[in-house]
Structure 1
Amino acid sequence: MTDLPIILLAAGASSRMRGADKLLEIVDGQPLLRRQAEIARAVTTGPVLVALPAPPHARYEVISGLDVTPVPVPYASEGMNASLRRAFAALPPHTAAAMLVLADLPELTENDLRTVAQAVELKSDILIWRGATEDGKPGHPIVFAATLFPAFATLAGDGGGREVVAQAGPRVQLVPLPGQHARRDLDTPEDWAAWRAGR
């Protein structure tokens, strides 16, 4: 168990789902967003912050009753960086590092989050610890050292924090996770149907 704060990004519009909400798709018997929030809650004793579209929105109901903190993102339509600005600003003072998790990665497990968290060594010169696929492609979750937090305050657009990762240069440690857990996202109804068929 770790006390690392975890930020769950869940404010996207699911624009390619043609009216459905991918974060409400059922995975392991429950809506994906609730599954991801429960995984995060099980991994840390620290706060779990969930970036969400401005209320009212069905995603708030999905995480009701869980010990997590909703973080409304008024300008979520701007792109992922609006969520990153709000969520990192909401971290407790003196946070030494924080884990970022995308809510739409249905193959991520508790063990994956723990594996990345256990790789964190704050006394090293590493600034980012990042989950990777079994074939070495960088993905999620990502742990950022506090040195990088100020960079999130100025982000704009939909870069997804790539600008902050670039600031870390070579001071990034990839942490291998099973299969494609670190990157498998499902953006369309066809993606979901194919994934379920493959399971």
Structure 2
Amino acid sequence: MTARVAGILLAAGEGSRLGRPKALVQLGGQTLAERGVALLRDGGADPVLVVTGAVPVSIPAAEAVHNPDWRTGMGSSLAAGLRALGALGAGAAAGDDIGAAVVALADQPLVGAEAVRRLIVAYRDGAGVAVAAYDGKPRNPVLIAREHWASVLELATGDAGARPFLRAHPELVTLIECGDTGSPYDVDTPEDLARVAGVTALRSEENSLSPTGR
């Protein structure tokens, strides 16, 4: 049996600089949380978990996991997601066939589903840790094979997420170039959101004008 690759969307923050929780921000007719779930599912991740915190998030295509410690930073949200996956179907085959997880951030809505697909292909080809790179620079999303989850949990503190683990084990990391699939641009401020909204509108216009509509 081929192991499944799950998706974890980190969407717990309150968006202090943006002035509102990012998960519920509307962009192109969807919330950032909905866009993140679609990114993971379209890229081939199944199941998909959304780690919530500041506000509740309910998306039919995903399972919500509340992180009561969301104020401490991204590390606790990543830990909550990995623990939830580890407990999924515990003692049954349902969760045992999940071999890896792709971790994405709700505040990076310009990341493309193709980046997720490339990480999963790298995992199928033997990579234990695969990181999307843009012009050679590691960013997000990140795929982590199940055998490394415990080590990630040991180091996931504060707002660093998986970064401490990745820096401690560079020999495990396979960089996957995704610069042609989208952008890891963060939405942290109202100005960021305006810029991303402009890019999204332009892409929609270009798609509507293409012969295939795609």
State whether TM-score is above 0.5. yes
Shift of 1:169: 1.9
Please point out which of 57, 80, 94 is paired with 1:60: 57
TM-score under structure 1 length normalisation: 0.84
CA distance in 1, matches of 2:128, 2:183: 19
- Which residues of structure 2 form unaligned runs of 5+? 89-94, 203-214
CA distance in 2, matches of 1:144, 1:39: 17
Shift of 1:195: 3.1
Shift of 1:45: 6.0
Indicate the residue corresponding to 2:91 in structure 1: none
What per-residue deviation string (whole Å, max 9, x for no partner) do you get for residues 10-58 of structure 1?
Answer: 111211112x23332322321121121123223336211110016xx3x
Indicate the residue corresponding to 1:25 in structure 2: 25
TM-score under structure 2 length normalisation: 0.78
Structure showing greater Rg: 2
Distance 1:172 1:31, change over 3 A: same
Indicate the residue corresponding to 1:151 in structure 2: 151
Letter in 1 for 2:32: L
CA distance in 2, matches of 1:117, 1:34: 21
Shift of 1:110: 2.0
Please point out which of 102, 113, 119 is paired with 2:116: 113
Indicate the residue corresponding to 2:102 in structure 1: 99
Indicate the residue corresponding to 2:13 in structure 1: 12
Shift of 1:90: 0.9
Kept in 1, the 8 Å contact 2:7–2:45? The answer is no
- Equivalent runs, 1:1-199 vs 2, <5 Å: 3-18=4-19, 20-44=20-44, 46-53=46-53, 57=55, 59-61=56-58, 63=59, 66-91=60-85, 92=88, 93-94=95-96, 95-121=98-124, 124=126, 126-133=127-134, 135-154=135-154, 155-179=156-180, 181-198=182-199, 199=202
CA distance in 2, matches of 1:175, 1:32: 24
Letter in 2 for 1:119: A
Paired residues, number: 188
- Which residues of structure 1 form unaligned runs of 5+? none
- Structure 1, 91-100 or 136-145: larger mean CA deviation: 91-100
CA distance in 1, matches of 2:172, 2:183: 19
Of Structure 1 and Structure 2, the greater helix share is in 2
CA distance in 1, matches of 2:184, 2:39: 17
Root-mean-square deviation (Å): 2.2
Indicate the residue corresponding to 2:212 in structure 1: none
Question: How many percent of aligned residue pairs carry the same amino acid?
Answer: 30
Distance 1:23 1:96, change over 3 A: same
